[in-house]
Chains A and B, each alone.
Chain A
């Protein structure tokens, strides 16, 4: 018996939230869905709405979804907290 049209999705909290859509800006063109080589996005069942991030853990953080997006600011790629790098003003070190 092969699986049918329904797919199960775990309700567990994802470990990262790599792709954030701005609902005001996204026009639901799904270009990001089509460019993602890992195929982590699926089109929204409601036409014109932002795609759904079905497999956030599989994101490779390449940024091609943002590069392909026709609207500046509709998609934000975000590294998980443990991967966010720190920088400081050089001046603050020199004046120690």
Chain B
């Protein structure tokens, strides 16, 4: 061991109180758009972010396509059709409200971002004449070229544009502060949210934020099953520090969650057991519709949903005969027949037929525009691609006209995980919301990845703006409330406790995270059984009572990492409780029970909700269409917005 001076002033136990009318918790895509919406209503807005708002969050470095832009002038799909498809494709286990908002207002937000300086059109005519480009608007579309509802974007320009707008609007940005708890009226679980507490990630200073209304814009949980102590930054798809703090503090405050029993077998993770996102050979998402070849150079055919082989590259972007439209993008792995788009024949089947491993993605076989839009636009603008993939591969000599890039294993995911290695991906669980994107806690709104069944960049931006708008409404009608001193003191004691332990006799955050991940793999793996889930819960309880009191951190950075792992433990408890509450298997939730043969379809086809009341777990059930008619309810709840958007301009 050697020692080094901590470069920042240490301010343990110092306290600062900050007031606002609207408090934004998290400065990713959703948080920035929520802050912009609230500030445009003329309110005092404070945004708190654990990292650096300018590039923070899963979408900070970029994004290459904007899904569900159903109201753009070229779209042939209506918001109603698209939201219905998203619900049907998941047998109703989806967030009808948030995805309808995404379909209805998404294109409005894209135009907003363009005004702030984000690039959404091919203004230089670099792709003039391309099949995917609309010559009049210069918008460029991905996937279904006939229906034109997914727009290719230059997303690396978006976050700095939002950041500048926040500053212009006078939003007070507090970077490098981890929010650790929500404050509630009289300190009661389930009470109105009256603010939050935080800790500075560099100085250790304690912050108290008081606000009329708050918007939860933090990440979905991560590192619950997947952890590497050597490379924690490569465990999951989302950024290292995005591990679901919001879910954990919401749970402690009495917020209600749903779909938390859903987890998927890990596949499209960052790396560790797969490859850098968008960096290995594949033909999905950013790489659609690259050609795939075997190691003799033989091309794998693409087929439509009926198995008809598609001859031309152009056909890969067309719906099948008689099909209204097809769905592709970030989260659509195995769509239902109605929405299934063109796909290469299964690689495992090709191997049986004599194709030789490994397979490669071949851009050289594509028409110029298709190759250049994947390599140079999509790869370059998609998150984590500009430097690690586009620049680095180019510098190392990769030429998309000559080289083919390897796929690993037999599938397009280039990943190899064990069945018990799971993650919250593909519309995972989260905060339950109503039509104003309010949680069950008055004054607490929710957007982006904190919402249940969240997915992509456009969803985050659109729900962020919507939640910010509705939070502003609440803040105008409800003033500040006194905060409960006991709640503050308890939280202060909780977050500083590890610093008082003896480092030689305590454990650090990595060991605890490994212990939790192993517990979840052992007792909440691919197949769920009550006796195992209960052992998992009791082990986590034991960690809470005997391990957490004996943890240590050397500096504010490590303290924050440790507090994150405490949150991962809480999230694991929510997951175990939700799994126990669902007593039969459910395909759309990727939930497989080994100890129940009963299939009560009516009982199974409901959302299960979980929350704490007086520290006791309460289970609820909710109809899959609790949100009612989408268009009608949207319009009822957004009277002031209607008429301003592109929906009515169509």
Contacts and interface: CB of A to CB of B under 8 A. Distances in A.
B229 to A, nearest CB: 8
Interface in B273-309: 275-276, 279-281, 293, 295-297
B51 A45 contact: no
Interface in A53-80: 54-55, 57-64, 66-68, 77-80
Contacts of B625: none
Contacts of B271: 61, 79, 83
Interface string B352-375: 000000001010100000000000
B52 interface: yes
B159 to A, nearest CB: 9
B275 A38 contact: no
Given A37-B241, A45-B7, A94 B156 contact: no
A86 B229 CA distance: 26
A69 to B, nearest CB: 10
A6 B6 contact: yes
Contacts of B392: 77-79
Contacts of B297: 90, 93-94, 96
Given A67-B387, A91-B402, A37 B60 contact: yes
A36 B231 contact: no
A94 to B, nearest CB: 4
Contacts of A54: 557
Chain A interface size, as a band, is 35 or more
Of the candidates A2, A36, A68, the one having the most CB atoms from chain B within 10 angstroms of its own CB is A2
B386 interface: yes
A63 B156 CA distance: 11
Nearest to A65: B387
A42 B554 CA distance: 15
Interface in B6-56: 6-7, 10, 12-13, 50-52, 54-56
B276 A39 contact: no
B383 A93 contact: no
A62 to B, nearest CB: 4
A62 B4 contact: no
Nearest to B358: A86
B205 interface: no
Interface in A4-31: 4-11, 14-16, 18
Interface string B181-215: 00000000000000000000110100000000000
A32 B281 CA distance: 30
A63 to B, nearest CB: 3
B505 interface: no
A24 to B, nearest CB: 18
Interface string B483-504: 0000000000000100110010
B232 interface: yes
A3 B230 contact: no
A93 B52 contact: no
Contacts of B239: 37-38, 60, 62
The A interface is mostly helix, strand or loop, or mixed, namely loop
Of the candidates B12, B202, B387, the one having the most CB atoms from chain A within 10 angstroms of its own CB is B387
B402 A2 contact: no
The B interface is mostly helix, strand or loop, or mixed, namely loop
A87 B293 contact: no
Contacts of A66: 387, 391
Contact of B6 (A5, A39, A58): A5
B388 interface: yes
Of the candidates B202, B364, B388, B392, the one having the most CB atoms from chain A within 10 angstroms of its own CB is B388
A2 B54 CA distance: 32
B52 A85 contact: no
Interface stretch (B88-96, B323-331, B403-411, B471-479): B403-411
B4 A6 contact: yes
B404 A90 contact: yes
Nearest to B280: A85
A6 B3 contact: yes
A43 B295 CA distance: 47
B435 to A, nearest CB: 32
A93 B296 CA distance: 5
B6 A38 contact: no
B240 interface: yes
Of the candidates B280, B281, B402, B555, the one having the most CB atoms from chain A within 10 angstroms of its own CB is B555
A42 B393 CA distance: 28
A1 B500 contact: yes
A79 B156 contact: no
A38 B51 CA distance: 6
Given A60-B270, A66-B391, A93-B296, A88 B403 contact: yes
B388 A39 contact: no
Given A37-B52, A39-B201, A42-B7, A64 B61 contact: yes
Contact of B364 (A3, A86, A90): A90
Given A87-B405, A88-B403, A93-B404, A57 B230 contact: yes
A78 to B, nearest CB: 8
Nearest to B8: A42
B4 A7 contact: yes
Contacts of B503: 8
Nearest to B508: A10
B55 A64 contact: yes
Interface in B392-423: 392-393, 398, 402-406
Contact of A61 (B6, B234, B404): B234
Nearest to B53: A37
B176 interface: yes
Contacts of B60: 37, 62, 64
Contacts of B56: 37
Contacts of A16: 230-231
A16 B239 CA distance: 17
Of the candidates A1, A58, A94, the one having the most CB atoms from chain B within 10 angstroms of its own CB is A58
Nearest 8 A-B pairs (CB), nearest first? Answer: A63-B387, A37-B51, A15-B230, A93-B297, A94-B297, A37-B56, A87-B405, A62-B61
23 contacts: A34-B52, A38-B241, A39-B176, A57-B232, A58-B240, A59-B240, A60-B233, A60-B384, A61-B388, A62-B384, A62-B388, A63-B384, A66-B391, A68-B55, A77-B388, A79-B388, A83-B279, A85-B276, A85-B393, A87-B406, A90-B297, A90-B362, A94-B296
Given A1-B500, A40-B233, A89-B404, 5 more contacts: A58-B240, A77-B387, A86-B406, A90-B402, A94-B297
